[in-house]
Amino acid sequence: MKVKSLVAALLVCAAPAAFANGTAAPAAEAKAIPQTPEAWLARMTDMTQNMSAYKDPKVFVPWLNAVTEPGFYTTMGLNMMDPINWVNFMNSMTQPGAYTNVAQFADPNVYMKWLAAGMDPNFYTAVLTQLSDPGKLMRWAMSPLDPKVMNMFMNTLNPNMYMKWMMSPLDPRSLQLMMAPVNPNLYMGWMGASMNPGSYGDMWKGFMNPATYSMPNFTMPALPTVAPAPAGAAPSFNFFDPNAWTQMFQIPGYAAPAAAPAAK
């Protein structure tokens, strides 16, 4: 009886740790996916990572859920009234990561993921569940009464918004954007991104790296050895000797007839 009680106590203590280990990886992956409309808009206005939803079906599902919420468009309307958000968007277009963001569509793994999702019933279940959510439909019906919607319309009467637009040219981020065309690092960064195999996906890192060009299962056949020449004077060819020329055209296996004996 004591043994059974001890085993039960150990199971109770070990269960939380076991479940934590099983959910550690999904929790880490979930941190990379935005969870709020503000976080989604920050990613979608960043040209270095706004294509992530189209490269992975696992990211596309939460992205679809976010863009079908009425609160997403209310937040987007408020962000569009802030000039700094536009400056940050244009500054991200000058980063070399903007090239990598688009060039990663050359990775065949992107299309393999979508092919696998197209054959997975769980993908369609996740999408249809979000689009047919009664709570989402109710939020759309009640969106005109949302205080955020009223705040968005009242922001057009806020003089501080217009002062931000008037002072935006003096913002350091705006000055950085204006000086970007004369910065040589801009062009060197884009050139480096275009020549980096990692910009085109993980598959091309080894394929385009000359250091990986090796054939471990191939061995060069042994070449036939040539007997060294006997010691003595080095062989030479006399260009003006007719006998040297005739020896070059000898027929293999043919012996010249012996000279006739001299008459006595």
User: How would you class 101 by CB atoms within 10 Å of its CB: exposed for 0-12, middle for 13-18, buried for 19 or more?
Assistant: buried
Find the Cα–Cα–Cα–Cα dihedral 43, 44, 47, 49, rounded to 10°.
Answer: 50
The contacts of residue 40 (CB under 8 Å, 6+ apart) are 34, 63, 66, 67, 72
**Distance between CA atoms of 111 and 191, rounded to whole angstroms?**
26
Q: What percentage of the chain exceeds 70 in pLDDT? A: 65
pLDDT at 229 over 70: no
Asked whether 89 and 45 are in contact (CB, 8 A), the reply is yes
63 close to 123: Cβ distance less than 8 angstroms: no
**What pLDDT digit, counting tens, does each position of 151-181 carry?**
888 988 889 999 999 998 988 889 988 998 9
pLDDT digits (tens, 9 = 90+) for 26-41: 434 445 788 888 889 9
Distance of CA 57 to the CA centre of its chain: 15
Q: Where does the pLDDT of residue 248 fall: very low under 50, low under 70, confident under 90, or very high at 90 and above?
A: low
Distances (CA, A) of 186 to 90, 91, 182, 194, 244: 14, 11, 8, 13, 69
Which amino acid, one-letter code, is at 143? Answer: S
Q: How many CA atoms lie within 13 A of 16 on its CB side?
A: 3
**Token reading at 134:** 């009664």
pLDDT at 115 over 90: yes
Residue 213 burial (C-beta neighbours within 10 Å; 0-12, 13-18, 19+) = exposed
Q: What is the pLDDT of residue 20?
A: 39
Separation between Cα atoms, residue 143 and residue 75, nearest integer Å: 12
Q: Is the pTM of this model over 0.75?
A: no
